[in-house]
Amino acid sequence: MHYQGVTNYQHGTEAATGILITNLGTPDAPTKEALKPYLKEFLMDPRVVEPPPARWLWKLILNGIILNTRPAKSAEAYASVWDSEGPGAPLLNISNRQINAVAERVRPHFKGRVEFALGMRYGNPSIASGLKELQDKGCQRILVLPLYPQYAAATTASTFDAVSAELQTWRWLPEMRFVNKYHRHPGYIKALANSIREHQQQHGKPQLLVMSYHGVPQRYLDNGDPYHCECHVTSRLVAEELGLSKDEYKVTFQSLFGKEEWIKPYTDATMKSLPEKGIKDIQVICPGFSADCLETIEEIDEENREYFIEAGGEKFSYIKCLNDRPDHADALATLVLQHTQGWYERDQFDADTDSKERQTVAANAKAMGCPF
Ligand SMILES: C=CC1=C(C)c2cc3[nH]c(cc4nc(cc5[nH]c(cc1n2)c(C)c5CCC(=O)O)C(CCC(=O)O)=C4C)c(C)c3C=C
Ligand SMILES: [Fe+2]
Ligand SMILES: [Fe+2]
């Protein structure tokens, strides 16, 4: 193994802090050619499709069936949302705006240098490229913030896997921190409640507020994944913040994949059954998605809207994700500052960042036989 070292290092350079903001990722283009490698990377991740009894069988099914049919279907869905949030994939555009908004808020609190990078778990820019970008900028401390408010092995742990896989190739490891979840963070809950209140000032109050989260297989919950409970905690806290009673909101799970049972109730089945129960005016929010993407814009606002209306529903409105709302950026900036405690105020005391000490080290380095 040849470990990658920091060969462009220069003594005397200030050590910076890096913030790697990550999300799931998106294909490079809304075409079946671009969808194939993206879906392959996604569906070969053992955290996403946890090994069924035989892995060779999954490979066969994936390469032989799924990757020959799904790319074209998914590409069509992506094409319908492409450019809806600026030129390109919505998730990528919004992620870039989120990073700028968070950086603007975090920077003034840092005495030393702080750098930001984006890393997508699948597709580009990758987590490896984001980490390298921070390393190139001299970051000796890195905080990883996956924009998944609720922890799931399929998302959060998979991000950790990708980070550690990259770091296993590095010689000089940075000091690392990792945000595990923020499903009950007061800033996040308040931003969700604000966005619902603002929506209702414009559109009125519905009979029911549906909070739809991405699902996971029931098997993962049975095996001890906390995701399901954290979705319910977020929903309860948002309802408390809004003063909603239990029958004024409902938690559902969307985006099923494959044939096995996923956590329930399903969003699509709920949409099809609400009207016959007399509930014909609903609002839907997706609190588990920090940015609008295919699964919200196309699946909720298009597909599930249609299910609801076709079943006799009268009023359906979709409440956008928190995206780059100022209160969301405030919440994420607070989260970053909470998780970088001892880092942002520390340059006064740290030999690596104290400017006088750095000059002394740089002046002595050559004499001591250091190539840097
Ligand atoms: C927010 C949390 C998410 C969890 C938990 C999650 C689990 C999960 N997802 C799949 C399969 C697919 N998901 C796809 C898209 C997608 N998933 C999330 C988030 C979570 N997934 C997002 C934000 C997106 C949208 C990305 C975008 O580009 O906009 C897709 C690809 C799209 C498609 O072809 O339909 C698949 C496939 C599984 C199997 C899983 C849990 C085990
Ligand atoms: Fe997903
Ligand atoms: Fe639970």
What ipTM goes with this model?
A: 0.91
Among protein residues, the one with the nearest Cα to ligand 1's atom 34 is 74
Evaluate: CB of 321 within 6 angstroms of ligand 1.
no
Closest residue by Cα to atom 35, ligand 1, is: 74
Structure tokens at 209: 């507020």
Is 204 buried (19+), middle (13-18) or exposed (0-12) by CB count in 10 A? exposed
Neighbouring-strand partners of residue 22: 119, 146
Annotated binding residue 328: no
Ligand 1 atom with the smallest distance to the CA of 27 is 28
> What structural domains does the chain harbor?
16-182+326-339 (3.40.50.1400), 186-319 (3.40.50.1400)
User: By three-state DSSP, how is residue 38 classified?
Assistant: helix
Cα–Cα dist 278/268, whole Å: 17
The answer to pTM > 0.90 is yes
Q: Whose CA is closest to atom 42 on ligand 1?
A: 48
CA of 233 to the centre of ligand 3 (A): 9
Contacts for 166 with CB less than 8 Å, ≥ 6 apart:
127, 128, 131, 132
| Tokens at 150, concatenated | 């609720």
Dist. CA 80–CA 338, nearest whole Å: 39
Say how many Å lie between the CA of residue 221 and the centre of ligand 3.
Answer: 7
- Core vs surface per residue 326-338: b (16+ CB within 10 A) or e: ebbbbbbbbbbbe
Query: 286, 231 in Cβ contact below 8 A?
Result: no
- Using alpha carbons only, give the angle 362, 367, 369 rounded to the nearest 5 degrees: 95
Q: Is the CB of 263 under 6 A from ligand 1?
A: no
Q: How far is the CA of 228 from the centre of ligand 3 (A)?
A: 5
- Which of 23, 24, 121, 260 has most ligand 1 atoms within 8 Å of its beta carbon, as the pocket-test mutant? 24
pLDDT tens, position by position, 208-230? 999 999 999 999 999 999 999 99
Identify the bridge partners of residue 249 per DSSP, sorted by sequence position: 209
Of 364, 344, 306, the residue nearest 106 (C-alpha): 344
* Ligand-binding site membership of 214 (annotated): yes
Q: What pLDDT shows up at residue 116? A: 98
Structural contact between residues 298 and 81, judged by C-beta atoms closer than 8 angstroms = yes
User: 62: CA distance to ligand 3 center in Å?
Assistant: 30
Cβ(154) to ligand 1 under 6 A?
A: yes
With a 6 A CB cut-off, is 295 part of the ligand 1 pocket?
A: yes
Atom in ligand 1 nearest the alpha carbon of residue 26: 28
The tokens for 160 are 């950790």
Q: Is 75 in the pocket of ligand 1 (CB under 6 A)?
A: no
148 lines ligand 1 (CB under 6 A): yes
With beta carbons less than 8 A apart as the criterion, state whether 298 and 91 touch: no
Give yes or no for residue 48 CB within 6 A of ligand 1.
Answer: yes
**Backbone dihedral angles phi then psi of residue 141, each to the nearest 5 degrees:** -135, 130
Question: Looking at residue 348, what is its pLDDT?
Answer: 46
Residues of the chain where predicted confidence (pLDDT) is lower than 50: 348-349
CA distance to 8, 105, 108, 204, 310, per residue, from 315 (Å): 60, 38, 44, 11, 11
C-alpha distances in Å from residue 195, one per residue of 91, 116, 310, 312, 366: 19, 26, 27, 27, 57
The pLDDT of residue 320: 98
Residue nearest (by alpha carbon) to ligand 1 atom 2? 214
Q: Which residue has the tokens 């029911």?
A: 208
Protein residue whose Cα sits closest to atom 16 of ligand 1:
295
Residue nearest to atom 33 of ligand 1 (CA): 74
